[in-house]
Amino acid sequence: MVDPSQNNSPISPYSYGSNNVITNNPTNSATPTTILVQNIPLYRQGGNRMTAYNWENNASNSGTDYKVVNGGVTYTNHEDNYMFPPTVSYGNDTPATTLLAFIEGCNAVTAASLVTLQMAGYVSINPTCNCFVSITGPADTNNTYWAAVSFTGGPTSGTPPTNGTVVYMNQEMAYLLSTAGGANSGGARFYDLDNEPAIWNSTHPMVHPSPANCAEVAWKGVSLSTVITSADPNAQVFGPVAYGWSEYINNQNAPDSSILGSYNNGNNISYLNYYLATMSTASNSVGRRLLHYLDLHWYPEATGMNGTTSVRITNNDISQGVAIARMQAPRSLWDSTYVETSWITANSIGNKPISLIPRLQAAVNQYYPGTQLSFSEYQYGAGGDISGGIAQADALGIFGKYGTAACRWDDGTNNSYVAAAFNMYLNYDGAFSKFGDTSILATTSSVTETSIYAARDNAHPNRINVILLNKDYSNSNQSSVTFNNLETGQQISGVRVFRFDSGSSSFYTPGTAPTTTTNTLSDTLPFRSATLYEVTLSQAFPTYTPTLSPTITSSPTVTRTPTVTGTPTLSPTPTTTFIAQGPISTPIIYPNPIKGPGPVFLTFVLQNATANLDVKLFTTSFRKVRQSTFSNLPTGSQTLQLLLGAESGSNLANGLYYVVLTDRKHQAIGKLLYFQ
């Protein structure tokens, strides 16, 4: 059933994004490249390589993604200029060449750009090293391989250096704005807050040797987003760029995951609850939204059976059992009745449905209303098989229906069916006709066997497009679609059909046309097939313009025109709404990072008055370097000043510090990045 009078909601063009140009050319093939999808509306420049990318000189490090085994020894963490584009209009030593070339390329194909900024702590310093690095950033006191990252403190004009020992994110933003423009003037529209922080110690052990704390990731995100949104008020920020379910739960069992206790509301994603609440609190403090998209990665853990072997669907196994599981897997994005076979359902949520998007939306509604959803990486496997094509088409339909941004990650294998799925939404007739801009109600009697999506398009007001997927592995199905609540006098006047199936990833028009009445369409769906029906009506719908707000605001609304500055200005006594976190809330620390002796301010909430509150500063190896005691503090919001320079003893060394607040019974922990 399709009903254009119900559930009218805008389809975000960013639902159809990609991390890669979708081509026919696997990464291990010498076949000439043909671009299979011409009009992707959003591209992302991300992944593990971007964590250690140095914008000043375009150096980067592979982390553990690239391995060489020699003499029984495994070498990783290769530093080089791998990220430098081979053919660009910039010189080798031009700052941000990698980013500028990416933005330029996106603009050339009228795509929005999502770029990644760094916040793990260190970036590569030597693009000509071409070597394996075995010394960590914190230990590299000579800056042979690593430069420290600071969010603030850099100059915002003049020629950037190409070999700085500290790389400044505020300087990078100023340079990108002056060179490429802002979000509304040809520059990057979106920014990712680094990549998969929970596993930095695994993907980039030389950059971040120890597991990332929940508070560290959240407050680094706050600091970096403050820089981004101060420099470009029109830019939108994505975070925390979490790699998967274990990060959603507790930031990969982070050392400070005990702080998540008050965020355990039964939805099994306590860390995301905490992250949203932290961003909301910080946004209220600075008077503007700091997180526009809750951004995750989704590589399904669902499995199917190949004989007696359980195989994850993201592999390229196309045996019947795995293919069936793959075609069902997108249901975990939304279906409150579907329980996939995976360790998530078996071990984490008590054999209940994942129902991921509604689960995330409920968290957003509770902890940071107005935040949108994004999956900046996802993958369903078998892009060269019909099962992968159907799963991809299903996922795109779901993302559009729920207004979710998404960028598929290419695994470097055959993309023929993945391309067919994208083209069904972006270019189904070879003349760049699109699925539509407004999702409407569409339901099926069997979500196991079929999926259905329907849309209107304001550019073609007498048209409804319907996509039907037959997920049945070996049986054709008869379909009958009724169009309810058409406008008075409207009826079906014509239908064009575009289909791909298990025989070919190329679109074809079936030899037998569907049967139609004034408001019904009947057809036979081949097994494992995807079909788009372009339904022309006898008269147009009234004009309807769906609204996608480029900048979401949240209550309270604060009007402010930020400017590019070396250090974002934060009020020393912010008025903020805190989420209860126990006897002592996690402190807001500002300015953070800080350059020089300070002071810094700590804002937090005490649930109970206390006679003595100790504020202690520890190194990351838990050596105490500062302590101050504050007496007779009342219940409620507190703002304290902490001295860091020589006036309080010896000068601090550059680096990351834990700030511990304790009433000698309870404690709260924050993090501070300090540079002299």
- Compute the distance between CA of residue 556 and CA of residue 567 in angstroms, rounded to an integer: 24
Q: Return the percent helix, strand and coil in the chain, to nearest 5.
A: 20, 30, 50
Are residues 529 and 460 part of one domain?
Answer: yes
Q: Which tokens go with 551? A: 């900048």
Catalytic residue among 196, 216, 340, 377: 196
Question: What pLDDT, on a 0 to 100 scale, did the predictor assign at position 203?
Answer: 98
Is residue 676 pLDDT above 60, yes or no?
no
Residue 582: which pLDDT band, with cuts at 50, 70 and 90? low
Q: Which tokens go with 204? A: 């980039």
Segment 299-315 shows an average pLDDT of: 98
Question: What pLDDT, on a 0 to 100 scale, did the predictor assign at position 657?
Answer: 72
Nearest to 674 by CA among 663, 658, 650: 658
Question: What pLDDT, on a 0 to 100 scale, did the predictor assign at position 30?
Answer: 57
Residue 100: Cβ-neighbour burial (10 angstroms; 0-12, 13-18, 19+): buried
Q: Is residue 122 part of a domain?
A: no
Residue 444 near residue 451 (C-beta atoms within 8 A) = yes
Is residue 96 pLDDT above 80, yes or no?
yes
Residue 163: Cβ-neighbour burial (10 angstroms; 0-12, 13-18, 19+): middle
Between strands 594-595 and 667-675, the pairing is parallel
Is residue 87 pLDDT above 70, yes or no?
no
Q: Is residue 166 part of a domain?
A: no
Is residue 558 pLDDT above 60, yes or no?
no
Residue 430 near residue 37 (C-beta atoms within 8 A) = no
Give residue-wise pLDDT tens across range 243-293.
999 999 999 999 999 999 999 999 999 999 999 999 999 999 999 999 999
Question: What pLDDT, on a 0 to 100 scale, did the predictor assign at position 464?
Answer: 98
pTM across the whole model: 0.81
Q: Which tokens go with 380? A: 């369903």
Least confident of 264-273, 382-391, 524-533, 637-646: 637-646
Are residues 658 and 598 part of one domain?
Answer: yes
Q: Which is more confident, 577 or 539?
A: 539
Q: Is residue 499 part of a domain?
A: yes
Is residue 309 pLDDT above 90, yes or no?
yes
Nearest to 129 by CA among 83, 204, 61: 61
Residue 612 maps to which CATH number? 2.60.40.1930
Question: What pLDDT, on a 0 to 100 scale, did the predictor assign at position 570?
Answer: 29
Residue 8: Cβ-neighbour burial (10 angstroms; 0-12, 13-18, 19+): middle
Residue 530: which pLDDT band, with cuts at 50, 70 and 90? very high
- Compute the distance between CA of residue 539 and CA of residue 555 in angstroms, rounded to an integer: 42
Residue ending a domain, among 502, 517, 537, is 537
Residue ending a domain, among 537, 569, 602, is 537
Segment 471-486 shows an average pLDDT of: 97
Q: Is residue 371 part of a domain?
A: no
Question: What pLDDT, on a 0 to 100 scale, did the predictor assign at position 562?
Answer: 28
Q: What is the DSSP letter of 5?
A: T
Q: Which is more confident, 233 or 67?
A: 233
Those residues with Cβ within 8 angstroms of residue 538's Cβ, 6 or more apart along the chain or in another chain: 462, 489, 490, 491, 492, 493
Number of domains in the chain: 2
Least confident of 78-82, 214-218, 523-527, 582-586: 582-586
Is residue 556 pLDDT above 60, yes or no?
no
Average pLDDT, the chain: 89
Q: Is residue 523 part of a domain?
A: yes
Are residues 592 and 532 part of one domain?
Answer: no
Nearest to 290 by CA among 652, 669, 580, 576: 576
Per the structure, the complete domain to which residue 623 belongs is given by 588-675
Can you state the angle between helices 320-328 and 386-402, rounded to 10 degrees? 10
Give residue-wise pLDDT tens across range 7-65.
999 999 999 999 999 988 766 555 667 899 999 999 999 999 999 999 999 999 999 99
Residue ending a domain, among 494, 513, 537, is 537
Are residues 446 and 533 part of one domain?
Answer: yes
Question: What pLDDT, on a 0 to 100 scale, did the predictor assign at position 659?
Answer: 84
Residue 307: which pLDDT band, with cuts at 50, 70 and 90? very high
Residue 94: which pLDDT band, with cuts at 50, 70 and 90? confident
Is residue 545 pLDDT above 80, yes or no?
no
Question: What pLDDT, on a 0 to 100 scale, did the predictor assign at position 603?
Answer: 75
Residue 565: Cβ-neighbour burial (10 angstroms; 0-12, 13-18, 19+): middle
Q: Which residues pair with 190 in a beta bridge?
A: 114, 236
Q: Is residue 302 part of a domain?
A: no
> Is 79 one of the annotated active-site residues of the chain?
no
Question: What pLDDT, on a 0 to 100 scale, did the predictor assign at position 602?
Answer: 79
- Compute the distance between CA of residue 18 and CA of residue 534 in angstroms, rounded to an integer: 25
Q: Is residue 335 part of a domain?
A: no
Residue 587 near residue 670 (C-beta atoms within 8 A) = yes
Q: Is residue 182 part of a domain?
A: no
Residue 503 maps to which CATH number? 2.60.40.1180
- Compute the distance between CA of residue 196 and CA of residue 217 in angstroms, rounded to an integer: 10
* Share of residues in the chain with pLDDT > 70 (%): 88
Are residues 596 and 529 part of one domain?
Answer: no
Is residue 598 pLDDT above 60, yes or no?
yes
Q: Which tokens go with 456? A: 């209107």
Is residue 529 pLDDT above 90, yes or no?
yes
- Which element (helix H / strand E) includes 97? helix 97-108
Segment 83-94 shows an average pLDDT of: 68
* Residue 410, CA atoms < 13 Å, CB-side half-sphere: 23
